[in-house]
């Protein structure tokens, strides 16, 4: 990690002197002024590809464009599937720009019963996945990796399944512990997107974390999924706060940018900010408008819901 720290320290002065903000926007899209030096209050994290219309296909150019617009983080669900050299390249650029990297998907197979079982083959598979995730962490210093316990078993009592998930998460947490990377379980809605999954609510994830009782077992609170599953967003944030290590967001209905649905993200983000949250909020959603105009509208939407602090 010393090499990336050196890159970051060496680059900070250069950014201040050369004015990367604005210069990159003009180079990427000379017919349009897209630079915004103001940093967002919270670490909203666009995904790779979110600004392909303005920044092109190269991941590094996309990261620079995000930074130019005031974003302080990014995420890539598919980080684990990229070549190691590209993983390092992404991490080095984020370090250079002082940006954070949100959780990547370490294990999320929606088609199988995995953690709810005591199947030895499933346990071996999970051990290997954790080891693979540790290697990604070594290359990128990503702090959190996302896991989903899989489908529920209609032939096994729910409490036995819960006990099996607790044992599985404890085993996985113990494997990643020495690396410093934490695991974040994601509850997903079963009404629209993912019917049949075991983990669906924040209280359920909180109970599992309590039972696992390991510092590397945490929660990613996807506000889009939770609005569908149970609502009650701010009270559940408060109740599960000690275990929430990351957020995902997206409005409902539509799963597009904030201000396009029913969630009052201005109030939700103000609440998260007031609680002192300094982690990543992954923008895991689509756009209500296609093309470059949609990318501009996406940025404007986040400026609007981030306006809680003057």
How high is the pLDDT of residue 27?
41
Window from 27-31, 80-84, 281-285 with minimum mean pLDDT: 27-31
Tokens coding 306: 């981030």
How high is the pLDDT of residue 99?
98
Q: Mean pLDDT score of the chain, rounded to an integer?
A: 91
The b-or-e profile of 57-79 (16+ CB within 10 A means b, else e) is eebbbbbbbbbbbbbbbbbbbeb
Domain boundaries, the chain: 2-305
Instruction: Note whether 309 and 72 are within 8 A (CB).
Output: no
Residue 39: DSSP 8-state: P
Looking only at the bridges linking them, the beta strands covering 43-45 and 280-283 are parallel
The span from the first CA to the last CA of the chain, in angstroms, equals 36
**Residue 35: pLDDT band with limits 50, 70, 90:** low
Instruction: Give CA–CA dist 57/284, Å, rounded.
Output: 19
Residue 247: DSSP 8-state: E
How high is the pLDDT of residue 32?
38
**Residue 89: pLDDT band with limits 50, 70, 90:** very high
Task: Beginning with the edge strand found earlier in the chain, give each strand of the sheet holding 43-45 in spatial order.
Answer: 43-45, 280-283, 244-249, 217-222, 182-185, 144-147, 104-107
Window from 6-10, 267-271, 274-278 with minimum mean pLDDT: 6-10
Q: Does the pLDDT at position 114 exceed 60? A: yes
What is the phi/psi pair of residue 178, to 5°? -65, -25
Query: How would you class 87 by CB atoms within 10 Å of its CB: exposed for 0-12, middle for 13-18, buried for 19 or more?
Result: buried
Question: What pairs with residue 248 in β-bridges?
Answer: 222, 282
Instruction: Give CA–CA dist 6/49, Å, rounded.
Output: 28
Task: Tell me what the mean pLDDT of segment 105-124 comes to.
Answer: 98
Tokens coding 156: 């096994």
| Yes or no: domain 2-305 corresponds to CATH 3.30.450.40 | no
Task: Tell me what the mean pLDDT of segment 101-113 comes to.
Answer: 98
Q: Does the pLDDT at position 23 exceed 60? A: no
- Which of 27 and 18 is assigned the larger pLDDT? 27
Instruction: Give CA–CA dist 286/264, Å, rounded.
Output: 18
How high is the pLDDT of residue 34?
61
Non-local CB neighbours of 138 within 8 Å, separated by 6+ positions: 179
Three-state DSSP at 201 gives coil
Helix, strand, coil percentages for the chain (3-state, nearest 5): 50, 15, 35
Looking only at the bridges linking them, the beta strands covering 144-147 and 104-107 are parallel
**Residue 309: pLDDT band with limits 50, 70, 90:** confident
Instruction: Note whether 236 and 268 are within 8 A (CB).
Output: no
Three-state DSSP at 117 gives coil
Q: Does the pLDDT at position 282 exceed 60? A: yes
Q: Does the pLDDT at position 12 exceed 70? A: no
Task: Tell me what the mean pLDDT of segment 134-145 comes to.
Answer: 98
Query: How would you class 244 by CB atoms within 10 Å of its CB: exposed for 0-12, middle for 13-18, buried for 19 or more?
Result: buried
- Which of 23 and 186 is assigned the larger pLDDT? 186
Dihedral angle sign, alpha carbons of residues 188, 190, 192, 195: positive
Q: Which residue has the tokens 């060496």?
A: 10
pTM for this prediction: 0.89
Tokens coding 89: 């390249």
């Amino acid at each position: 990690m010393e090499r990336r720290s050196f890159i970051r320290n060496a680059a900070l002065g250069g950014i201040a002197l050369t004015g990367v903000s604005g210069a990159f926007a003009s180079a990427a899209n000379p017919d349009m002024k897209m630079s915004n030096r103001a940093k967002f209050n919270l670490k909203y994290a666009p995904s790779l590809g979110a600004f392909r219309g303005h920044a092109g296909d190269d991941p590094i150019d996309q990261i620079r464009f995000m930074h130019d617009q005031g974003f302080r983080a990014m995420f890539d669900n598919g980080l684990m599937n990229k070549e190691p050299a590209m993983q390092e390249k992404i991490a080095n650029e984020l370090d250079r720009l002082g940006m954070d990297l949100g959780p990547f998907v370490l294990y999320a197979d929606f088609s199988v019963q995995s953690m709810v079982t005591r199947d030895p083959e499933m346990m071996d598979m999970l051990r290997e996945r954790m080891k693979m995730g540790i290697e990604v962490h070594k290359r990128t210093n990503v702090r959190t990796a996302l896991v989903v316990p899989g489908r529920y078993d209609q032939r096994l009592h729910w409490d036995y399944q819960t006990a099996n998930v607790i044992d599985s998460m404890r085993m996985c947490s113990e494997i990643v512990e020495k690396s410093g990377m934490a695991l974040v379980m994601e509850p997903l809605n079963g009404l629209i997107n993912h019917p049949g999954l075991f983990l669906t609510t924040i209280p359920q994830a909180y109970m599992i974390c309590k039972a696992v009782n390991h510092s590397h077992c945490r929660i990613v609170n996807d506000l889009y999924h939770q609005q569908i599953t149970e609502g009650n967003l701010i009270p559940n944030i408060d109740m599960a706060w000690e275990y929430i290590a990351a957020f995902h967001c997206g409005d409902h209905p539509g799963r597009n940018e904030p201000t396009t649905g029913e969630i009052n993200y201005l109030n939700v983000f103000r609440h998260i900010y007031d609680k002192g949250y300094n982690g990543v909020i992954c923008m895991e959603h689509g756009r209500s408008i296609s093309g470059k105009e949609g990318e501009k509208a996406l940025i404007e939407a986040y400026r609007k819901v981030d306006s809680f602090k003057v």
